[in-house]
A and B are shown apart, each in its own frame.
Chain A
């Protein structure tokens, strides 16, 4: 069900939250209309007329106590329903499936119990899911409107949130704690004829920490769980794709593409085009040829050697990318001549 004001109700919380929302909504409308009606009527009825004085005013204890106390009843009720809904939001059932969520500037990583990672949040339908959030740099916040859930990922802490999806489908998630934007995107954008939707992927920041939630049936979800451990299969041949192709998929799914282009243009990070085998110059003045070992190090310990002309803002992917995936990425970079 989708109403005028709120997103579709796709979790077990949605009904309750929306009920409170509409309760306040109609309560507010009632008060608002009453106040406006009285105001307009009085302004018209008692408009200034020559020779007619206003009547002295005073106060009326009964009336005043009435409108001081009666809203109190409503407010206590309101607090109560809001709080009840909130308690549900904070108490995941013991059998909930756990997903580790790591936030960093400006991407989300979802790690599943089998050790696989994804950047699209896949969740099974009709099953409680508990997310354990943490952040590597500044505060981020995970927000899934269709589920009515939101929680900050605070560096140095673990926080949890949970939900149970009631319907399969696809929806959006957002980062709702301001976390900045990549420096330097503006220089790249200056004079770019490619303004418009197409070029905008190249901006990174708070506003680009968004993604899709896929709510799947049990069967679909277990296929997904397997797929994150192995290279995907090519539907045409029915066999696993080559490492180069897998690498190009990881390039997108692990969001390397938010900072690295493959067409030679510099973004937040250097382009990968023609990178392999080239001599790299670092900010500390040293040099090194970009071989497989160097690329591996760049992914696991990006700040060990920071390329001249760039800032050491690349996060480490140690623990996020598995060895096979790194190999695939390197294979892919080799193809970018």
Chain B
């Protein structure tokens, strides 16, 4: 068993990672049942099985420190009344580990402890108590990977194959176990660590817990209420439950362990921590009640998580609600059950397979060893749900806000305008922010980047919200599509006192249920007046006497704390923090400060869970403001002044309507904000603090926003107070003028906020590039460097440390060399006009730089001429990505995020998709295009590694780049990217351009590249990874000075997007999202496109000017070669002459820190990544093809991306059209690795007898795939899983046939392939824009979400398909005669290729009425317009495009 498990793990080696030292793994491990026979042979005097426990300890190698720690543990054992049997050294072969791992290897010893207790469960609890006592006494140096009488863990900083070699025990045949949990890790963690390897004590986890910070905080708050009969007084000893500084997995494990030892079963504990998503009616009544009830006890721990667990008696796995991790299982006729991330890790003869399945979102997979069987999800949950009348309890005890007696809302206590002024309302807030909220029920959309100062540098005292930057998911976890995948989202929140987590009583359900966290005035008043005996609200005033000045703020906070404490003592369980008392005498405390401060005060006081916080404030009025309030602990927010302000706007609707729509818009924006982080529910976002503070003083953060990352210091309480007082004074001065201030944040205004792109800089730049005049350029660069940048950016606060003498200019590397380091930003054809896009490409080709296609594909006509973009982007929409596109790139850039909208997708409405754009994107004219927020083949770093591998196959010569956006932790992600074999990483600043993004994202997500780049450089250098990867940065780069600063901070290369557009004529109208660009740049309107006057020379001139300026600075710095500039952070220092250092407490030490490494450590890219391609099956394929030999191979799951390299060869030799159908026929058998048949070129056919993993047919480009069960298999194919998740992602042409089930997201973003499959999981045909899919079996939920084109034919056997289909964009029609022909043809081919009995039966008993035609509205309309004679925008070219499929 153990050997088999370890072998399986080795087969997953490609999913793990190694660091700079290729031999050192990120971690691998195994958990087994207590191997009594083995241990008995090793240890004398071992008590009876079950009567002893083993503590596996990682100890320091230093003898004295080790002894001390051992003493502590032994003392704890004794103190807790158990008996020490003795220590055993775990024998290891140290040389089997990698060099880095060896250097950090602990001494591993096992301590044997004999039970003095009767009850095994009590003993297990006791061991836990001992462990916690010892851990707390010893501190972080003592690591105890397991301490149980049931299970034992072996793990370390090893690769999967090293595990067995390292631990001699694992090679001992006596070491037996009926179960094994194995894991190998791809970490983005940077510091070598043995203990972070999995499994933990009960758990192995694949994924991330996005909400962990909030969960850990709430857990801390819960501790004071914990009580347990089982633990008795011992419980106090285990607190704090969560070990400080642990990873998300260990934190989860800590809580899980407590719940299980506290008396709940493992499945019970897991389903309460990670509940499945459901809508009313989805689940049984009991189960719904079960989840409702447990929602009152604990907020969801949101994944993406695949959790494997065991307590030694049951073993199983589950996926979180989103199900974004693969898991495939297999049961054999001789009693084996195997579950792994991939199919094919376990060799078994086809006839021995009994069943095959996969993990499903929110579902449990459980094996009960006592009963010796698989317990399916429904049964396991039914058992749980019927333990207690949970639903009844919830119904009886919980109260819905809407059911409380109505109360009249309060009128404003001061005139509207005074209040608006006091809360800093601006003219633009009304126009840009509020009007669209009501008018469109949507947050406002803008274009181009944020070129205004960071909040801390602004002279206009921005509201506190603007100092908080939203975090977002990139690479390590996927963002969610809150619109198309609304099924997993929830805004429902609960308020009320929470009770002892270790108990379950009806009273636990005493919670007030709020359906929407944005409260109307009526709702707030209802809440304020509540006094039901159970619920009682108290209002706490969060204003302070203006006369007290800034010094009064801190005492005011103290007053609030005292009032909150007193209210809680009076049993209040709803605290309304209100600034309704603002008036001439009283100024509002910034509501975010008040909320964070109270939240953390109560957490510290251990009373946080006695009440929910509700904020009633005049200040919040945007998605960002409400988001931060909830993120720092508010359960609900009543933005009363925003609502009142709507009344005064000139809108075409009633007041009530406006209020409802605005609240809805904010709720929607809020969901989008949390989904960017991959979080799906408000309760788990609440208090999760998913922000980075930029520009706040350390002590403010520590006290009021505890735990928030903050790296550049900034303003303190005084400046925060002064901001509020200034606004207050302005509002209530006797001579106050009544107009709201003009601030010019979204558009430049003469006396408003500074913009780096302003009339002066724009005009100067344009004049310079058109005249080619250096003097004009210098005027421009001077305006930027000594004014714009200084006022707005971190780099503006720095200056160069010039040596006493520079070098002559002519010794410095030539500008023509330097410009090769420049590229233009990814901007799609679609966001830019053809003219502007080609202009940039020509310019970049002329200077030897690189232009970027952006995410909209490229016209193949351009591949061979001057208009070719060297960089071809691969984004989540995969528009225009086929083997031809990939083959023709010099660089392939995987876009993970974009500074102006990290974590978000995009949308190109159908009317903008004209025939040209559609042909370039390989989609259908007139059909809208949605880019999903995540890449559906990148939910984790190991997935990214796989995509990089896929791209390498598609084009072995291209360098692979990954585009990231700066945020805290981007350095670690970049390290992961380097380990995942990328050649290039782009760190984009938060302030980069965009064709269209929500305003809150443009302004509030991400951080400046200076911080992100510095972090990246430091992390890569420290981990020895910098040498293998190029680093590029972009975001508001404008001058040579910018280039030099970026180089010194660690960039080899530089991206410019907005500046070259300005050189081409852009005047920052910021109408890019409106298609009305007046200079023909960001528009598809033919009339406007004619206005484009940009010339390649303009862009060339600009970049040469920048390069020349760079050279001048290099000369002064005494540096001749650009290479020698990179990473020389020592040449930068703070420019103390600039006031903000003193006035606003900015501190850039973190940014300017030089990594402490031996001299000679590479600071720039010096060597190539090792190619992962040698050994790929495709080499054999190509060789056999060349020889004309038969193409027949056996494969296993380590054979990934089969057909990728072959397709590249075919395309290289035969061009876009590939080969005639059936030219290359390949027969394969076995379990194929991931990305089977990716990018398959026309003329290639792969036939697989066996099964495949995730990403089958990714980017299918014209080839044909078929997968069928192996000959001789006995299991029923039509109910067994044959392919993994995300099949045919981004397929553009070709056909695929699956005799069996596929997983989640079948044919996601398919734009041209035809497929037949015998059943699919959730989200089938998501975002599909073309092609045809025939499903002749079961379908999961949310079918056709975001599907704008193509057609799906679904066999609706149970007649309930409609309920599982998302009909936002599609209609369900009967099939007509044409459809019948098409479906029959596909089914015939399916039968032919796979021998499917289902197809056989359907064709034999042809009943077309059982099929439902899923027909997207957009597509229908486009087809109608087309058949009406190509009228309208589609034009004549359409014909070819539509006829194309």
Partners in one complex: no
